[in-house]
Amino acid sequence: MKTINLILLVVLLLSESLLAQNLPENAILKNFKPFPTPRTNGRPGEVYRITADGKKYIVQDIVAIKEKISEEGDLIGRMYFTADELLTLLNLEFDRVEIIPVEVKILKAVREYNEQTTIDKILYGNDKIRELVVDEESKYFIIRETIRTKDITFRFSHEIVKKIKRGANALSEIKSNQELDFPFEIRKKFKKEKRIFFLDQEIKKDPYDD
């Protein structure tokens, strides 16, 4: 029975991973993912690993990799999320829908990033990679970019709101004389900037491994 349960868990994790990889392309922040919750950690230069059974562990924040900063202004556009991502990020639970289109508005977005040449020098030129990648059964990733803000809004369509089975009371309806594609919203404001999205890159002991 334990073997069957383990197999089912692995299949579920693989299905979720494939679903995330097959999301439609975002209009903004292409290939970025949401952190499970807004946070102050998780800067560019942090390395984490995913075990064979799908668990995530922080390996190390490589302080020698210094992030650069770019003020991006206000960003608004459509992004796609899985139901699981919105459950952890916004505490919204959906019924019979796996991919959710959302209009996202980020005020005074700040992009943090690091350069490939810097990563290559520290990980491979200084042989840091062999200190980090020690579990052959895990996949290792480094955070390359993040987006942080004090103010972010997530907007949803009528059709999607109908599929929310828990948490819909957190949404407010936008009052407008015009017909809106995304008339319901959740706004999150923070006293200090928090990281909301990240872009990562898989790393291996040999940079030329497939």
Burial code (b: 16+ CB inside 10 Å, e: under 16) for 130-169 equals eebbeeeebebbbbbbbbbbbebbbbbbeebbebbeeeee
Asked if the model's pLDDT at residue 60 lies above 80, the reply is yes
* Residue pLDDT, tens place only, 160-178: 999 999 999 999 999 988 8
Our CA dihedral for 126, 124, 31, 37, rounded to 10 degrees, sits at: -40
pLDDT band at residue 126 using 50, 70 and 90 as cut-offs: confident
pTM of the model: 0.86
**Domain ranges across the chain:** 24-203
Pairwise CA distance, residues 203 & 50, whole Å? 12
- pLDDT, residue 206, reads 84
Residue 16 has pLDDT above 60, yes or no: no
Cβ pair 101, 80 in contact under 8 A: yes
Pairing verdict, β 56-61 and 46-50: antiparallel
Alpha-carbon Rg for the chain, nearest whole angstrom, is 19
Mean pLDDT of 82-88: 96
